[in-house]
Structure 1
Amino acid sequence: MDSEAKQILDKLKARKYDPVYVLQGEETYYIDLISNYIEANVLSESEKSFNQVVVYGKDVTVSAILTHARRFPMMAERQVVIVKEAQEILDLQREGGAKMLLSYLQQPVPSTVLVFCHKYKTFDKRKELGKKLDQLTVCATFKKPKDERLGEFIVEHAKSRGYKVDADAIQVLAEYVGNDLSRLANEIDKVAINSKPETPITAELVMAHVGISKEYNVFELQKAMVHKDFNKVAKITTYFENHIKRNPAIPMVAFLYSFFSKVLVAHASADKSESGIAAAIKINRYFAGDYITAIRNFPLHKVLESITLLKQADLKLKGVDSASVSEGMLFKELVLRIMI
């Protein structure tokens, strides 16, 4: 878990509340995690009716938010005001709204817990309000995680649900979903619902429940290419050619381009051990084995050639110098040229 998110949640669980929280940044998972915890746990169910307000940025002004915040709680120790999608508060970007909020932050009502969920972006630190947030509020900025941290998140989230995850399943989830933690958590939960806690989550389970064909998918294609399994590569690319609408070529080319770019970096690494390769290409050590095999089966000149072929194919698929060949056939020919 993000260290800043953990620190905030630990304090909340100890029932130590601050007057104002500003949760901002590209990674919305932790913004939702913290705001949902506050919404569910700060007040009892009986207290929420009169003392908890949830509003959305596009529907309110700074003045309306502060009117809620300045109220005193009714038959409760405190009240909670949560502003979701706070990045859409129009007058917050204007000098008047920013000054109004800054004035409140300098003297917040101690019995109010005011939460701003400012998603996808951050407050401008060149402006006075942005400069003062760190000293006047609990201000947490969440960035998209690096690829090498995804395995850690997957293991941790699955563990919190009572499950273990196989290394292959971690790779499939990380590669298929990417660094969208909210979606990643949802996919893990989806698999967990259809599994038993005593049974580890495997790649097969992930593929079965997140909409990936078990046998015909880009992960299996990559693995077959890495191991120079020509029969399997031919089988998978033929399937893709016949089902191209379900398996569009452009995302698969991007996937393979990313893979071979990392293989190129791995070739340049002085340390060719699992830990050395993982550090060089900034991936979790779980995934290093395929890259070590790829280095062995794809010499440096072949990796460079493959990257060039992938770039050319990407342009053709996007309409640049494209011939009359079909999308499926173009992709199939591309893969076979990389293999030989």
Structure 2
Amino acid sequence: MAKQDITCDDIIKELKTGQYRPIYYLMGEEPYYIDLISDYITDNVLNETEKEFNLTVVYGADVDVATIINAAKRYPMMSEHQVVVVKEAQNIRNMEELSYYLQKPLLSTILVICHKHGVLDRRKKLAAEIEKSGILFESKKVKDAQLPAFITSYMKRKGVDLEPKATSMLADFVGTDLSRLTGELEKLIITLPKGQTRITPEQIEHNIGISKDYNNFELRSAIVEKDVLKANRIIKYFEENPKTNPIQMTLSLLFGFFSNLMLAYYAPEKSEQGIAAFLGLKSPWQSREYLNAMRRYNGVKTMQIIGEIRYADAKSKGVGNSSLNDGALLRELVFKILH
């Protein structure tokens, strides 16, 4: 496997076997996986006694590369390894100088660099030195279409199942902030009645505050089915509860759906499996709405809808709009979609 293709699961699996690298450079736009790996190393490589002398945690705003190298060159005390964790490493200047240490790293040191909201230039010498002796991991943002699979997989590891509608409600409401999403999932696990291992839309409504009948998932469904009455009932609810149903979240979801719908017209095979594979959806059931929408919206209409969503987004930010509130904007947009 190419170094740049290594996954979070690959790294955790290797760590669990006791195979440690001299450096783990964790970088990227998604903080969740960076924290997951660094926390695993911090919690599991050393026992509690060893941590007192052999665990060093520093922050990028407080140190320079020379300080990190000096810490990495120390030998462990009464332990096989020492762990040095550098958080917020994106704040460190001249990180390239770390390459001199990596030409001959101390094998008893596990150096963990947490570089969030950015990446190293893989063409530079430092990236090459990291890949020679350690792990260079890029934590990429999860796409909206990948969220249901992430939720299902996360809960499966916890021994919990979710109804498909419950999964979609969570994905649509929380979005791609994985730290917040896993927090909400843990909340659901804690509140599950004893002996129950399946989460329903009703439980999400009760414990997270998402209405099972009035949410973006149901609005999208109403639009796909061209159910004018249901769509307007949901819009009215959104207008009365703007804090829990911001228009930007709704517009983002609709834009993502109709953009994917436009792509679905080019799928070689117009079946649940064919569209799921073409769009990169993890489950064939996720493609059912696209198939339903293709029966009601042709390609030309879909392109027009995408344009109207963009126009509504601009107006919601004050561009060319002096009077319409968010509820009126959404009502106008949905009317244009449905007619």
SS in 2 for 1:54: strand
Mapped contact 1:72–1:111 kept (Cα < 8 A): yes
Matched AA of 1:36? D
Query: In the alignment, is residue 215 of structure 1 matched against residue 218 of structure 2?
Result: no
1:225 alignment partner, one of 223, 226, 230: 223
- Indicate if the aligned counterparts of 1:166 and 1:203 stay in contact, CA closer than 8 A: yes
Q: How many residues are aligned here?
A: 333
- 1:13-45 Cα deviation digits (max 9, x unpaired): 122222222122222222211111111111111
User: Aligned-pair distance for 1:129?
Assistant: 1.8
Q: Which residue does the alignment assign to 1:316?
A: 315
Alignment-derived partner of residue 105 in structure 1: 102
The answer as to whether partners of 2:169 and 2:210 remain within 8 angstroms in 1 is: no
Contact persistence 1:208–1:214 (CA under 8 A): no
Alpha-carbon deviation of 1:327? 2.8
Alignment pair present for 1:8 and 2:6? no
Amino acid at match of 1:263: L
**What SS does structure 2 have at the residue aligned with 1:139?**
strand
CA distance in 1, matches of 2:202, 2:161: 14
- Residue 185 of structure 1, aligned match among 179, 182, 186: 182
SS in structure 2 of the partner of residue 264 of structure 1: helix
Q: Which residue of 1 aligns with 2:153?
A: 156
C-alpha distance in 2, partners of 1:333/1:148? 27
TM-score, structure 1 as length reference: 0.89
Q: Give the equivalent residue in structure 2 for 1:28.
A: 31
Write the distance in 1 (CA, Å) between the matches of 2:268 and 2:124: 46
User: C-alpha deviations, 1:93-136, integer Å up to 9, x for none?
Assistant: xxxxx33x222212222222211112222222333223322113
Give me the whole-angstrom Cα distance separating, in 2, the residues matched to 1:311 and 1:7: 39
Matched, 1:297 2:296: yes
Q: Which runs of 5+ in 1 are unaligned?
A: 93-97
Identity among equivalent pairs (%)? 43
Match of 2:286 in 1: 287
**Any conservation in 1 of the 2:159–2:197 contact (CA below 8 Å)?**
no
Q: Give the 4+ runs in structure 1 shifted more than 4 A.
A: none
Q: Which secondary structure does the structure 2 equivalent of 1:90 belong to?
A: coil
Q: Determine the C-alpha separation between the residues in 2 that align with 1:16 and 1:131.
A: 21
Q: 1:317 & 1:132 partners in 2: Cα distance?
A: 48
Answer yes or no: is the 8 Å Cα contact 1:241–1:332 preserved in 2.
no
How far is 1:139 from its partner? Answer: 2.0
| TM-aligned CA distance change 1:126 to 1:215, over 3 Å | same
Provide the rounded CA distance (Å) in 2 between the counterparts of 1:138 and 1:305: 46
Pairing of 1:1-340 with structure 2 (within 5 A) = 4-92=7-95, 98-99=96-97, 101-196=98-193, 198-284=196-282, 285-340=284-339
Residue 320 of structure 1: CA displacement? 2.7
Alpha-carbon contact 1:147-1:283 (below 8 Å) kept: no
Secondary structure at 1:59's aligned position in 2? coil
In the alignment, what sits opposite 1:95? none
CA-CA distance at 1:175 after TM superposition: 2.9
- Unaligned regions of 5+ residues in structure 2, if any? none
Are the counterparts in 2 of residues 123 and 130 from structure 1 also a CA contact under 8 Å?
Answer: yes
CA distance in 2, matches of 1:148, 1:249: 20
Query: 1: distance between equivalents of 2:31 and 2:247?
Result: 29
How far is 1:189 from its partner?
Answer: 1.4
The 1-side partners of 2:310 and 2:146 are apart by 28
How far the C-alpha of 1:332 sits from its partner, in A, is: 1.3
- Compute the displacement of 1:145 (Å): 3.3
- 2:120 maps to a residue whose letter is F
Cα shift at 1:276: 1.5
CA contact (8 A) 2:261 2:290 kept: yes
